[in-house]
Structure 1
Amino acid sequence: MEQLNSTVVTTISSSSPGHPPPSSQDFRALVTVVVLSLCSILGIPGNIAVIILRPNWQQMSSLSQSLMLNLAVADLLNLITLPLWIHAFLHGWSFGLLACKLISYLIYCCIHCCLLTVIALSLQRYLQVVHGKKWFQQRGQKRLLALLWLVAIILSIPVLVDRQIISVRNLPQCESVYSSLTEQVALLLEETVMGIVSVSVVVFAYIRLKRKVDRAALFNNPQTTCLITSIIVTFFIFWVPFLIVNMLGLAAIFSKNEKLMKFCTDKKSIFRALVFLNSSLDPFLYAFASRNFCTACLKQEHKNNCSTSQEI
């Protein structure tokens, strides 16, 4: 158990027995750096454009606007840290322990807030289009956003404790170092449950929304169907591999499988980079292409008003 614990709790350096050769490590580091660089190039300008231009938002509800602006801000805060991580992958972490903890904490806060915002946005669109219900007045919207950030801040607190500077590939890196397997399992479970809930809500909400679009002649729009499919597939592709690695890590801990744990440790950085790529694509999926949802919402609202008038 102690041997497995040492494998799980710390990241193994390149000089450890049985560790993959440096060329394999260099390839993984290169892939991670390329993905993170792509995220910076696409995501930072994209989210800035969303915050400044707010495209296609004129016909949206105030709640939709608030949620998408919150998503863009959280994504942008997440992505502006990428140059530091790219530098760390190439040259090692040279910014000190305090920066390691605080920047990691900021990233986890933003990721949790993004997930919670996507959940709220999916449910809001589902309720407004499928059931014709609206959420919250202005004061309620501010409370909702404050609640999202509060939950994200609380869920991210363990990062302040477990982030340490350790040697990886003979370079100092900012990584998680767990004091016990119990702590490791608890954090993996929290990440996994949060991810599974997010994916499930997004898939459920948009599949139901798509069925509503397909059934109603007023909403019959191939572009809307394509957008809904893109949101589901993109969210699924970028989050499910990360969740699978987490679940494999849990299986490795419980089965005391060192080989499986080493695989999870080695591959997690690549799948974590995909999460950043999802943040880069958010503005294009949720903001720039939202006019189709606006049209659907307006038509549903008009239909509900007509039905109410006929009943009266």
Structure 2
Amino acid sequence: MDNLNSSNTSSLDHTSPDSGRLISSIVLGLCCALGLPGNIAVLVFILRGSSRRPNFTLCLILNLASSDILCLATVPMWIYSLLHGWTLGSATCKLATFLLYLSLYANVLTVTLLGVQRYLQVLYPQMWNRLGRKGKAALVLALWGLACALTAPAVTTRYVGDGELKCRRHSESDAERVAVLILETFLGFVVPFFVLVTSYCCLHRRLTRLVTSVLVAFFVLWVPVHIVNMVDIAGMVLRASRPEASAVLLRHRSAAARVVRSFTFVNSCLDPFLYAFASRRNWN
């Protein structure tokens, strides 16, 4: 996720070719144009189609659509910064970063909770039913609370430097940056993906088509982002002992970041089709 604004080369880096910034802006614009109506349609479809209180699965899908809308709502600011630099000040930089990371973490945690919920409903229904309405509401509140907590490192280290036109991370040291990237990769990808795979493998052949789509989409859209994070970490770790190798890694990392940074927004476009529009047949 840090590929959206890195301390080395970012989407806001005006040393990159104009064509690269323009292509990135077009991709982000398409994500916003397709994803916002799709997720809004999900909200309308579920809220209007539910004559009674939605079940917990539909609540999670509403949660997912809400986090996607929040994510895509920040796109105009990132497009503006790509084309004109960040001229909106440090406070807006922190606010935009908070909204973006909050929505991304809420998205990942919601997808993970969907897998856990389905696992418990199928294999341990009595345990799941014992939670009751209050217990399930507490799960959703805890999800957003955890998303806020995970967002804190990105927000506290992000600001606009003096004379800069970039909303980016400013770390006190390489060690601090490495620690934040490891935290983001571990909690934002490794743990959720492990929980999803474990939950769905325990269901064996049930929900096969939807499960396959969920796992493939999660892996394809998130693993490139965290691979780039790992390359970034390797480059910083090798900076002192092998500066030439470090420079090569960081250069390749910067080039790859221009490609993978849009994947997080593509994910928000695909969610309505993966979860909501398949929900009536597969999740109810």
Task: Please state which band the TM-score falls in when normalised by the shorter chain.
Answer: 0.7 to 0.9
The Cα of 1:118 is off from its aligned counterpart by 1.0
Cα displacement (A) at 1:61: 7.1
In the other structure, the counterpart of 1:187 is: 180
CA distance in 1, matches of 2:214, 2:134: 29
1:197 aligns with 2:191: yes
Classify the secondary structure of the residue corresponding to 1:178.
coil
Q: CA 1:287/1:261 → structure 2, altered by over 3 Å: closer, same or farther?
A: same
Work out the number of aligned pairs and report it.
Answer: 267
C-alpha distance in 2, partners of 1:61/1:270? 38
Residue 309 of structure 1 corresponds to none
Aligned partner of 1:208 in structure 2 is 202
CA distance in 2, matches of 1:259, 1:94: 31
What's the offset of the Cα at 1:237?
A: 0.6
Contact 1:112 1:152 in 2 (8 A): yes
Give structure 1 stretches of 5+ with no counterpart: 1-7, 16-21, 214-223, 296-312
Residue-by-residue CA offset, 1:186-217 (whole Å, 9 max, x unaligned): 110111102111122223323433x232xxxx
Larger Rg: 1
User: What is aligned with 2:235?
Assistant: 252
Verify the 8 A CA contact 1:117 1:148 in the aligned structure 2: yes
Unaligned stretches of 5+ in structure 2? Answer: 1-5, 240-245
> For the residues of structure 2 that align with 1:261 and 1:89, how far apart are their CA atoms?
21
Tell me the CA shift for residue 254 of structure 1.
1.5
Would the alpha carbon gap of residues 9 and 96 (structure 1) be closer, same or farther in structure 2, given more than 3 Å must change?
Answer: closer
- Selected match of 2:250 from 234, 237, 261: 261
**Structure 2 letter corresponding to 1:198:** P
Moved over 4 A (4+): 12-15, 55-61
1:243 matches 2:230: no
1:277 matched to 2:266? The reply is yes
User: Could you tell me which amino acid in structure 2 is paired with residue 250 of structure 1?
Assistant: I
2:210 paired residue number: 227
What is the rounded CA distance, in whole Å, between the counterparts of 1:235 and 1:28 in structure 2? Answer: 26
* Matched-pair contact (CA < 8 Å) for 1:249–1:260: yes
CA contact (8 A) 1:33 1:86 kept: yes
Output the CA distance in 2 between the equivalents of 1:36 and 1:113: 20
Q: Is residue 97 from structure 1 mapped to residue 90 from structure 2 by the alignment?
A: yes
Q: Judge conservation of contact 2:210–2:282 (CA < 8 Å) in 1.
A: no
Contact kept in structure 2, 1:59 and 1:294, CA below 8 Å:
no
TM-score, with length taken from structure 2: 0.84
Matched, 1:139 2:134: yes
Q: 1:49 aligns with which of 26, 41, 45?
A: 41
Deviations along 1:87-125, whole A, 9 cap, x unmatched? 111122221111011111111111111111111111111
SS class of match (2:171)? coil
